[in-house]
Amino acid sequence: MLDTIFFYVFALLTIGGAIATITRRSAMHSALSLIVSLLGVAGLYLLQKAEFLFAVQIVLYIGGIMVLFLFVIMLVNLDQAAKERQFNRQWLLGLVASVLVGAQMVWMLNSAGVLSLPAAVPAPAATGPGNIEALADLLFREYLLPFEVASLLLLVAIVGSVMMAKKTS
Amino acid sequence: MTLLDIVLFLPLVAFIVILALPKTLSRTLALATSMGIFIVSLGLLAPFLGKPTSAVSFETNLIWIQSPAIRYHISLDGLGLWLLLLSTMLTPLCVLISWNYITDRVKEYYAFLLLLEFGVIGVFVSMDLFLFYVFWEVTLVPMYFLIGIWGHDRRIYATVKFFLYTMAGSVLMLAAILYLYSRAGTFDYPMILQLLSSGRLQLTAAEQLPLFLAFFIAFAIKVPLFPLHTWLPDAHVEAPTAGSVMLASVMLKMGTYGIVRFCLPMFGNAAHQCAPVIIALAIIGIIYGALVALVQPNMKKLVAYSSVSHLGFVVLGIFTFTQQGMDGAVYQMLNHGISTGALFMLVGFLYERNHSLEIKSYGGVANVAPVLSVIFMVTTLASIGLPVLNNFVGEFLVLQGAAIVSWKYAALAGLGVIFSACYMLWLYQRAFFGEAGEGVRHHITDINKRELLAIAPLVILMVWMGTGTSLFLKPITAVNAQILEQSKINVEYQVKAPPAPSAEPAPATTAAVVEVARAR
Amino acid sequence: MNQFYTPTDHFSLLPALLLALFGCAILMLDFFVLPHPRQKRWLIFFALLGEFFAGLALYRQYRFLEDQSIPALRAFSDGLIIDGFSIFFNAIFVAAAVLVAIISYRYLEVEGEHHGEFYGLILLAQCGMYFLASGTELVTIFIGIELMAVTFYILVGFLRSDRRSNEAAMKYLLLGAFSSGFLAYGFSLLYAITGSTRLPKIAAELAQRPATDPLLLLAIVTTLVGLLFKVGAAPFHMWAPDAYEGAPTPVTAYLSVASKAASVAVLVRLFLGTLAPHRINWEPMLAVAVVLSLTIGNFSALSQTNLKRLLAFSSISHAGYILLGLIAGNRTGLTGICIYLFVYTFMNTGAFLVLISLRQKGMTGDDIDDLNGLIHRSPGHALLMALFLLSLGGIPPTAGFIAKYYIFLSLVETGHYALAITAALFVAVSIYYYFRIVRAMFLNEAGQLLPALPGWGARVGFAVTALATLAIGLYPEPIIRFAGTSLLR
């Protein structure tokens, strides 16, 4: 019961935040609304007992990326842009297209029998190591190699961005 | 290592030496080495002289690439012998006629000439299909440069056209060679023939026709058979004299040689099937070439179109499938090489003096250059097939062969002979008789010693081959007889009921079959 | 799974470890020890040292397989495999990286962008390629692809003051990210279907699935699209001409040779190994891609005036030829792919090397017209270029012919006659544009460029590439045998 209430709260946060993100005129407000929306998603992850994703969502998206967004918004002068008309004239076309895609998805899922799901089974009680431990086990044992190589990838990306950003002498 | 290996690789060595040494030496070096090669190559005559043998000599058979087995397999028989000697003889002559004409980038010029000789010799002696293809392509590159660098004004257009035509044909041939390999399990040509004749490798009609066409079109472009001839006049007109000579005398023969050597024995069935069409094209080529030659204002173009006509005779002779026709065709290959080569040389001499190829800028040359005129006359007469001179023998044999098949063929082809007399004699009349004009009197001098040295061997051969025919023809006849026999073997398969395929496990796709054949 | 990082793991990872080590070390040396621009060229030797050790480690792997006479060594619980195939491809990468390292410094100095990072990045990109050739686990392969791709995004945009280079990097980055998305999607679908990311397990699972499975079909399509993009095959080739043209020429060479080879390695491993039972699904798609590559590559190359662009389109068509071997898919085809890539490494790098030597201050030497009359100015360069172009065109007796021959042979053996004939005819088309360059060099009147001034690196590069192009053409036996031992099994 409590789960259900939480679910709807988080879902509302997610959808409400998303709607606010695209309707607010001020870029700052949009960004803050996006944070709310992402927070809602994080909550949903937690409900699914995906603690790791929950943590990543908060640390990475809300903590890292969103702060970057805010920095950029504050650094770049957006006052001018805020005054301009925000929607372009193709919203009708966009609406039709998204409805069509949505309908198609529903139809596909339906024909694949996904919509008629079996009755929800309560998640098994957590036994043994939790989600994060299992993930760590996977990452540092099964996927040790790609995990380590990914660090190289990040290094290269950093070198690249530094190089690109460095002033040309 | 046989004498043939030496003859084959000497030009390559010469090519490298010429490139390596300074260019002041190039000319002398090229002459010395090419003369040397010719003299050494005369040694190849030994097993063949006057003997009617179809046996091969100077065979070398080494593995070049292990798997799939590609062999360095070369040998010589009566068919390749004369063409090889023709090439080795013409190369020093080409060096001679280029002696003063080529002043620009001398080193590269002579190097390419010898590389061309290497490729051409390789084509005539390769007994491995893959090796044959390699040499076939190798000849393209030096010729591309010979025309492209030292040619006349529109040389780039001509050389690109030449290259693309030949290349387009030869890649199809490569595809066919690979298909044959996948069926026979070997590239080795004698082996394939053995498999075919023993019935271990049977090409169905549906296979033979495309294979035959792939080979034939590649060769026909080179010959060139009407209507694939359009590259030829451009290439000839734009090429430097030596390029024209090599092109006409040797490279065109690669096409007809290929037809005789590969198309007939391997795909006798399809060859017989296509013969009427090909004969028709050949006859059209004979008459068309002659008629177009008749109206050419440009001497070199005239000679080029006469080549189309003459080579029509060769193709006609081959596809009569008679001993006479084949002998005539092969003989005609040599004759054309000599007489047309000589004609190109003579036209080149005139061009060097007067810097014009237009017939109308000549006239009365006989007055100022008597010796040159006499030689030109002899060559003209040889070219139109006067008895006692070489072309007569070849054309006569071809016509005889054609008549055996159908008198109509002979009559139509005979028309070509008459036309050839018309255009050649008319050319001679316009260029050499009459009043000598201003330009001619100023510029034309008689033939000099170097030029005489270059053309004399050809004139001698014209007479010799016209009179001492049997010496040259004997080895050819023997080989032709064998080839005819092979092409018939194949035909009989079609006539008889095809052997049941289930009698033996899928023939010839595996190396095991090759082993069996080898054991036999 | 109990052992954590076994000696076998270490042994199989060693070349990549060394490459990463030296790559990072170069980045640091560049910063701390050799900050002066004149000192940067010492980093080349350091990079070469890294390549030497990596090569040594590869050789040890090779010897190990030979001595134990085992076909393959698996490590990281089926995450990596050391077999003849991986060793062969890694040898190609080593060759390409060494060549690129020694030919770059003069070019970069002329461009005024001689930074030490360049050599570090080359090694790190090669490290990514290592996982493409040896990886048998989807995540490893994917990370490897990304490592290689991200490095190349940087390398392509290495000339920061050059707008073309920036634009090229941008385009390559955007389209590359797009294709990586496809690939990730395809890989995740494969995981979804089979429940594993390890290729042997995936293969076992897939073998039991019907070929008509729509999910599988979707997985194959997306994976194929992602990889074809990396290979530079049509219709996913749009990035190639711009990236090739804008990138620094040594990077273009590296991109066209090593990156292509690495992606082909993955294609081969996935499609001839794991997805082989579902050939019926992917063969038609691949055939379409091949025909498109040949058509678009060759016909577009006909009208190019920029040499790098021309070579870019020609490399699209070469991708087509290479993929033909995949369609044939038999032993000969696989050998053909290996030989083709090996030969391509040398002949294509050689061709780019000529362009690099022509690069001077204030003169790019990228246009065909810039080569006019090169035979007068630098006859050696003209002859070398002619050799490389003949080889690219596939004219005997150069190495390129042997490569094409194997591909054609494999097609004929497996009965793909129509494809064989199409491919053969396109050889004639390609000859036309290669010979346009030859024509410019030999037949056209001299242009105004100064003669080329090759440095020691270019000299060594020329010697190696030309020798390989000729020697493989004349005596291909050793390389055929080497490729033969490398077959997947």
Greater confidence (B475 vs B302) lies with B302
- The count of other CB atoms within 10 Å of the CB of residue A145 is 25
Element (H, E) at B228: none
- Mean pLDDT for chain B overall: 82
Question: How far does C477 lie from chain B, in Å, by closest CA?
Answer: 5
Q: Residues of B129-167 as b/e, b for ≥16 C-beta within 10 angstroms?
A: bbbbbbbbbbbbbbbbbbbbbbbeeebbebbbbbbbbbb
Query: Which residue from C390, C425, C481 is facing B171, i.e. has the nearest CB?
Result: C425
pLDDT at B496 over 60: no
Question: Which residues does residue B128 pair with via DSSP β-bridges, in sequence order?
Answer: B188
Is residue C285 left, alpha or beta, with left meaning phi > 0 and alpha meaning psi from -120 to 50?
alpha
d(CA A113, CA A34): 33
Interface contacts (A, C; CB < 8 Å) = 68
Per-residue tokens: B250: 């040797």
* CB C132 within 8 Å of CB C141: yes
d(CA C348, CA C353): 8
What would the mean pLDDT of C19-36 be, rounded to a whole number? 85
State the DSSP code for A123.
Answer: P
Report how far Cα B481 is from the mean position of its chain's Cα atoms.
20
* CB B197 within 8 Å of CB B486: yes
Range in A134-143, C81-90, C98-107, C393-402 the model is least confident about? A134-143
- Provide the residue type at B393 as one letter: V
Residue C115 CB-half CA count within 13 A:
24
What would the mean pLDDT of C255-277 be, rounded to a whole number? 90
Tell me, what's the ipTM? Answer: 0.86
**Gyration radius of chain A's alpha carbons:** 21
Which of C160, C157, C105, C151 has the alpha carbon at shortest distance from C131?
Answer: C151
- The count of other CB atoms within 10 Å of the CB of residue B91 is 32
Greater confidence (C314 vs C439) lies with C314
Per-residue tokens: B399: 């016509």
Query: Which residue from C5, C20, C139 is facing A143, i.e. has the nearest CB?
Result: C139
State the DSSP code for C360.
Answer: B
pLDDT category of residue C459 using cuts at 50, 70 and 90: confident
Q: What percent of chain C clears pLDDT 90, i.e. is strictly above it?
A: 34
Which of C54, C124, C65 has the alpha carbon at shortest distance from C90?
Answer: C54
B183-232: pLDDT as tens digits: 888 888 888 888 887 778 777 777 888 888 889 998 998 888 888 888 88
Could you tell me if C443 lies within 8 Å of chain B, comparing CB atoms?
yes
C420-429: pLDDT as tens digits: 888 888 888 8
- Provide the residue type at A31 as one letter: A
Could you tell me if C424 lies within 8 Å of chain B, comparing CB atoms?
yes
pLDDT at C144 over 90: yes
Q: Is B313 exposed, middle or buried (0-12, 13-18, 19+ CB in 10 A)?
A: buried
Is the pair B, C in contact (3+ CB pairs within 8 Å)? yes
Place of tokens 């029509």: B312
* CB C206 within 8 Å of CB C216: yes
CA-to-CA separations, C164 to A167, C159, C234, C304, C396, in angstroms, rounded: 18, 9, 23, 17, 37
Could you tell me if C140 lies within 8 Å of chain A, comparing CB atoms?
yes
* CB B187 within 8 Å of CB B481: no
- Mean pLDDT for chain C overall: 87
pLDDT at B492 over 60: no
Which pLDDT value is given to residue B233?
Answer: 85
Question: How far does C416 lie from chain A, in Å, by closest CA?
Answer: 38
* CB C465 within 8 Å of CB C346: yes
d(CA C182, CA C177): 9
Which pLDDT value is given to residue C15?
Answer: 92
B82-95: pLDDT as tens digits: 888 889 988 888 88
* CB C465 within 8 Å of CB C99: yes
Phi, psi of C367 (to 5 degrees): -85, 150
B326-371: pLDDT as tens digits: 888 988 888 888 899 898 888 888 888 888 888 888 877 878 888 8
Which pLDDT value is given to residue B516?
Answer: 40
- Provide the residue type at C116 as one letter: G
Per-residue tokens: C377: 């100015």
C310-351: pLDDT as tens digits: 999 999 999 999 999 999 888 888 889 999 999 999 999 999
B393-414: pLDDT as tens digits: 888 888 888 888 888 888 888 8
State the DSSP code for C365.
Answer: -
Report how far Cα C461 is from the mean position of its chain's Cα atoms.
17
Is residue B321 left, alpha or beta, with left meaning phi > 0 and alpha meaning psi from -120 to 50?
left
d(CA C103, CA C454): 9
pTM (predicted TM-score): 0.78
pLDDT category of residue B518 using cuts at 50, 70 and 90: very low
Contact across the interface for C147 and A149, Cβ inside 8 Å: yes
pLDDT category of residue B501 using cuts at 50, 70 and 90: very low
Greater confidence (A168 vs B121) lies with B121
Place of tokens 């000339």: C159
pLDDT at C254 over 90: yes
d(CA B48, CA B78): 7
Could you tell me if C384 lies within 8 Å of chain B, comparing CB atoms?
no
* CB C51 within 8 Å of CB C101: yes
Q: Is B46 exposed, middle or buried (0-12, 13-18, 19+ CB in 10 A)?
A: exposed
Question: Residues with Cβ < 8 Å from C6, sequence gap 6 or more?
Answer: C75
Number of domains, chain B = 1
- Provide the residue type at B58 as one letter: F
- C-chain CB neighbours of B68 within 8 Å are 332, 409
d(CA B378, CA B22): 40
Which pLDDT value is given to residue C316?
Answer: 93
pLDDT category of residue B506 using cuts at 50, 70 and 90: very low
Greater confidence (B497 vs A151) lies with A151
Greater confidence (C41 vs C198) lies with C198
Contact across the interface for B68 and C332, Cβ inside 8 Å: yes
DSSP B54-99: ---EEEEEEEEETTTTEEEEEEE-HHHHHHHHHHHHHHHHHHHHTT
Per-residue tokens: C400: 């390129």
Is the pair A, B in contact (3+ CB pairs within 8 Å)? no
* CB B483 within 8 Å of CB B157: no
Sign for the CA dihedral angle at B74, B80, B85, B90 comes to negative
Q: Is C375 exposed, middle or buried (0-12, 13-18, 19+ CB in 10 A)?
A: buried
d(CA C226, CA C221): 9
Element (H, E) at B288: helix B268-294
Query: Strand, helix or coil at C357?
Result: helix
Interface contacts (B, C; CB < 8 Å) = 81
- Between positions 97 and 116 of C, the ones with CB within 8 A of A are 115
pLDDT category of residue C151 using cuts at 50, 70 and 90: very high
Contact across the interface for A146 and C120, Cβ inside 8 Å: no
- Provide the residue type at A138 as one letter: L
* CB B367 within 8 Å of CB B436: yes
pLDDT category of residue C74 using cuts at 50, 70 and 90: confident
- The count of other CB atoms within 10 Å of the CB of residue C115 is 18
